[in-house]
């Protein structure tokens, strides 16, 4: 975990997270995601960042809003917010970025600082265990500085209350002493902009959510956008990528730029070792088959969730925690990592009674949904 309270990253230059162990010139270690990437499992389409990703992502991140591909509405709205603030010469509203892993929240936070020409301070919820951790960061901010709190839903309670006051009044109460004799000394802090990121906006307490003047929900990218991202990354990495190769990778990237960039690297390896180094559709297909990435980019976890939902629970409804136990994962991982994409793909719906498989999910597994006349038999046996 990088990003203990108070690490700096320069906003204008290469967007490194500035840890001490920076490995490459432009690629520093990244703040870890809310849910850790599972060890060395071959989950090549996991949206969570592994160590490899964190090293290379710094180099692949777009640095300015204009280079940020997709999320058109968010980009438009944000550019207004930033432009307005620049004109007034004031710090803009606090910004909350929410959405599944790997869609560009950290990237966007760095871009916000860059667009404002402001320094960026990076920390994360788990690093803020006590109010004092937060006070020491906030009290050393310079005017207009951007502070990025990743995984903001994990900030500890006492610090959270300090954050409310800081966000609203640019003030912190520093507590001196203990017990009945303790006194709170109010301390003014420089106006700053907080950028919070979360994969679980639902966990944010309402008073915190309300203090963000601008909330952006990042959604999955469509294949055309991912294709642009993959081409851009290929350019930066010096990969010879053909259009049909880009198309193939984009289509299997699970709507997620991080996965697109990772698949590109795996396919490049394959192209260099088993082919002539050029990534075209045929090479991409062969490589992705080797890595067991399916046509829709569904992950092993996605498939396990679908299969449990359909085969063990008759299509649902089933509660999240029951489903998570069935696939041997934390409920949080299923909810944050697998479910959003399955919902977006129309394979799963969330109902008040639990998760339900859609007919498309049955079909995906080669079965027929019961309400379509079958009882979950293989599709082919129905009509004899
Ligand atoms: N809109 C985009 N255009 C181009 N590249 C992008 C875009 N969004 C994300 N990326 C790429 O995807 C990678 C992952 O993005 P990022 O780290 O910002 O995701 P995140 O939402 O912060 O994920 P997490 O929830 O795991 O922290 C980055 O290295 C970046 O190169
Ligand atoms: Mg991030």
> Does 4 have pLDDT greater than 50?
no
**Candidate of 258, 262, 265, 341 to mutate for ligand 1, largest count of ligand atoms within 8 Å of Cβ:** 258
- 300-381 matches 2-217 in CATH topology: no
> C-alpha angle with apex 336: 334 to 339, nearest 5 degrees?
60
> Could you say which ligand is closest to the alpha carbon of residue 99?
1
Catalytic positions: 105-106, 150, 199, 258
Q: Ligand 1: does its nearest atom lie under 6 Å from the Cβ of 27?
A: no
Top-level CATH class of 223-290?
Answer: mainly alpha
Write the CA distances from 43 to 53, 67, 104, 321, integer angstroms. Answer: 13, 29, 20, 22
Residues 203-221 have a mean pLDDT of 94
Cβ 34 vs Cβ 101: under 8 Å: yes
Question: Which residue puts its alpha carbon closest to atom 24 of ligand 1?
Answer: 101
Q: What is the mean pLDDT of residues 78-102?
A: 95
Could you state, in order of their start, the residue ranges of all structural domains in the chain?
2-217, 223-290, 300-381
Give the pLDDT confidence of 284-318 residue by residue, as tens digits.
999 998 888 888 888 888 999 999 999 999 998 99
What tokens does 138 get? 């906030």
* 104 CB within 6 A, ligand 1: yes
**Residues within 5 Å of ion ligand 2, judged at the Cβ atom:** 105-106
Could you tell me if 31 and 3 are in contact, meaning their C-beta atoms sit under 8 angstroms apart? yes
C-alpha 34 – ligand 2 centre gap (Å): 8
CB 171 within 8 A of CB 165: yes
Indicate whether residue 107 lines ligand 1 (CB < 6 A): yes
Q: How confident is the model at residue 42 (pLDDT cuts 50, 70, 90)?
A: low
User: In this structure, how many other beta carbons lie within 10 angstroms of the beta carbon of residue 84?
Assistant: 12
pLDDT at 371: 66
> What CATH architecture applies to the domain 300-381?
Orthogonal Bundle (1.10)
How far is the centre of ligand 1, averaged over its atoms, from the C-alpha of 102 (Å)? 5
Q: What is the DSSP letter of 91?
A: P
What is the 300 CA–ligand 2 centroid distance (Å)? 22
Architecture of domain 2-217: 3-Layer(aba) Sandwich (3.40)
So what's the pLDDT on residue 3?
38
Report residue 53's pLDDT band, with 50, 70 and 90 as the boundaries. Answer: confident
**CA of residue 368 to ligand 1 center, whole Å:** 37
């Amino acid at each position: 975990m990088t990003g203990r309270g108070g690490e700096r990253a320069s906003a204008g230059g290469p967007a490194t997270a500035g840890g001490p162990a920076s490995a490459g010139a432009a690629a520093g270690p990244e703040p870890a995601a809310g849910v850790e990437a599972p060890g060395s499992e071959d989950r090549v389409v996991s949206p969570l960042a592994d160590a490899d990703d964190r090293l290379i992502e710094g180099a692949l991140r777009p640095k300015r809003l204009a280079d940020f591909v997709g999320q058109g509405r968010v980009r438009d709205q944000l550019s207004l917010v930033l432009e307005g603030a620049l004109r007034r010469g004031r710090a803009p509203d606090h910004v909350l970025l929410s959405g599944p892993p790997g869609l560009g929240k950290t990237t966007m936070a760095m871009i916000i600082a860059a667009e404002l020409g402001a320094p960026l301070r990076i920390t994360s919820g788990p690093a803020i265990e006590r109010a004092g951790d937060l006070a020491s960061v906030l009290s050393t901010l310079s005017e207009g500085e951007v502070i990025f709190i990743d995984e903001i839903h994990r900030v500890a309670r006492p610090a959270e209350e300090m954050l409310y006051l800081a966000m609203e009044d640019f003030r912190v109460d520093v507590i001196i002493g203990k017990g009945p004799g303790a006194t709170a000394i109010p301390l003014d802090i420089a106006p700053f902009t907080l950028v919070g990121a979360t994969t679980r906006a639902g966990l944010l307490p309402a008073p915190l959510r309300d203090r963000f003047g601008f909330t952006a929900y990042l959604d999955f990218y469509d294949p055309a956008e991912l294709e642009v991202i993959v081409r851009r990354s290929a350019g930066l990495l010096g990969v010879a990528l053909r259009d049909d190769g880009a198309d193939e990778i984009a289509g299997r990237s699970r709507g997620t730029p991080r996965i697109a960039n990772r698949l590109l690297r795996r396919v490049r390896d394959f192209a260099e070792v088993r082919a002539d180094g050029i990534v075209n559709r045929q090479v991409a297909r062969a490589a992705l088959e080797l890595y067991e990435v399916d046509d829709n980019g569904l992950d092993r976890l996605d498939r396990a969730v679908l299969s449990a939902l359909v085969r063990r629970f008759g299509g649902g409804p089933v509660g999240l925690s029951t489903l998570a136990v069935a696939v041997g994962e934390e409920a949080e991982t299923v909810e944050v990592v697998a479910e959003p994409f399955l919902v977006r793909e129309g394979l799963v719906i969330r109902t008040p009674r639990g998760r339900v498989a859609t007919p498309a999910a049955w079909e995906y597994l080669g079965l027929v949904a019961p309400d379509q006349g079958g009882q979950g038999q293989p599709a082919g046996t129905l009509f004899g």
